[in-house]
Amino acid sequence: MALCTGCHGTLQTTNNAADLVAVQQVVEIFRTSIIQKNKAAFMGLFFSDKPEAITWQAVVDDPSLERIRTTRPQAIKARHRPDNNFVAFIDGIIASSDAEEETFSDIQMDTDGEVASVSFDYVYLSNAKPMNSGREKWLLVRTEQGWKITSVVYTIRLAP
């Protein structure tokens, strides 16, 4: 009902310290599970273990898209690919013999205690070499089992 035309109210976010710490812990477990190639820890961060239930969407920046199109002219900025999902992401990391890591900076979090958003700049490294970077945004919900990721969207800027 609060969405009706003419309704007035105050938007409130609590950003309770305990909630922010708990959401930050999700970010840290995400980071360390990549380094440790820990699928169980990674999968435990998501609201569902079904790839189709979690939004996992990339968008390529224009300069990177131009580079990609030199070998794949049909490439587009943002394409829904069912095979690009959080399960395939961690499985690819585990299958790789390379040291994988995703670093985060400029982390911003907001929560009302029930839903949360997290955004940050990231750099994805393979064997300490930057592969791509961009901005990543997550939506989370607080469940009886703690904070769970429901959506991940991110930009891809290919390393030079």
The pLDDT value given to residue 39: 98
Residue 9 confidence (pLDDT) above 60: no
| 151 three-state secondary structure | strand
DSSP annotation of 46 reads: B
Q: How many helices (H) and strands (E) does the chain have?
A: 4, 5
Mean pLDDT score, 148-154: 98
The pLDDT value given to residue 13: 59
Q: Which domains does the chain have, with CATH numbers?
A: 17-30+38-46+54-71+78-158 (3.10.450.50)
Burial class (CB in 10 A: 0-12, 13-18, 19+), 11: exposed
Average pLDDT, the chain: 93
User: Using one digit for the tens of pLDDT, what is the confidence trace for 62-104?
Assistant: 999 999 999 999 999 999 999 999 999 999 999 999 999 999 9
Residue 2 confidence (pLDDT) above 50: no
- Spatial separation of the C-alpha atoms in residues 121 and 126, rounded to whole Å: 17
User: Using one digit for the tens of pLDDT, what is the confidence trace for 108-128?
Assistant: 999 999 999 999 999 999 999
